[in-house]
Structure 1
Amino acid sequence: MTYFMYDVHGDAVDEPDAATVRTLVVDGLADPEVANPEVSLTQESGWSLTAFAGGLLLWENVEDEAAEALTLDEIDKEEAARLFALLAAGEVEEIAALKWQQSS
């Protein structure tokens, strides 16, 4: 599976390894220099996770306009990093099985 991430500065990172994914999520979201930190990982299937510093996690398929965007709230940075690693590994079903809420 191919995938890429955007860091908190909006820079693309192609297929980062597990340690880099964790760093981009955990350290990036804690960066006090960034006004509204968010990071995202998108897999070739179109499934994408976006994590925001406030604990919001967005799950969507950016290739399918009919697919509904879903959210989880109060997700800590370590859990977000774990979910990003799952998506990087292609574990879409495991992520989709979480108790997502409809995005407003």
Structure 2
Amino acid sequence: MTDLSGASVEEPDEATMRTILDGLAGADDEHPDVSLTHENGWSLSAFPSGELLWLLWENLDEPDAQPRQIPAVAKDEVLRLFGLLAKGETAEIDRLTAP
């Protein structure tokens, strides 16, 4: 998982994910997001949007795959989705971002 400053945390637990998400309060134009990337190439990035977050879902290993967005997501839901991705369970995130 990558925090706002670009520091990486290998295999973060839920408390670490929550702390990194809380760091989005300090987001700016240069450091706008935090992300979690699984070894399978799938990445979920969270950006602040008022009281909610919006997410970018993309496969970094597949340059032809179109990134997809999930707007207006509560922090607890983001944590749940990060947890799924950490386990490599991408089907539900795919379903949420399906066109």
TM-score (norm 1): 0.81
Offset at residue 22 of structure 1 (A): 2.1
Specify the alignment match of 1:7 in structure 2.
3
Structure with greater proportional helix content: 2
Q: Please report the RMSD computed on the Cα atoms of aligned residues, expressed in angstroms.
A: 1.6
5+ long unaligned stretches in structure 1: none
The alignment covers a number of residue pairs equal to 94
What is the rounded CA distance, in whole Å, between the counterparts of 2:4 and 2:44 in structure 1?
A: 14
Matching residue within 8, 11, 22 for 2:18: 22
Matching residue within 82, 86, 89 for 1:91: 89
Offset at residue 23 of structure 1 (A): 1.9
Q: Deviations over 1:11-59 (max 9, x none)?
A: 111111122112212x11233xx42441100000000000001122000
**What letter is aligned with 1:83?**
L
Secondary structure at the residue paired with 1:13?
coil
Secondary structure at the residue paired with 1:87?
helix
What is the rounded CA distance, in whole Å, between the counterparts of 2:13 and 2:54 in structure 1?
A: 23
Matching residue within 66, 79, 82 for 1:81: 79
Offset at residue 8 of structure 1 (A): 1.2
Offset at residue 101 of structure 1 (A): 6.3
Matching residue within 42, 46, 51 for 1:47: 42
Identity of aligned residues (%): 49
Offset at residue 72 of structure 1 (A): 0.9
TM-score (norm 2): 0.84
5+ long unaligned stretches in structure 2: none
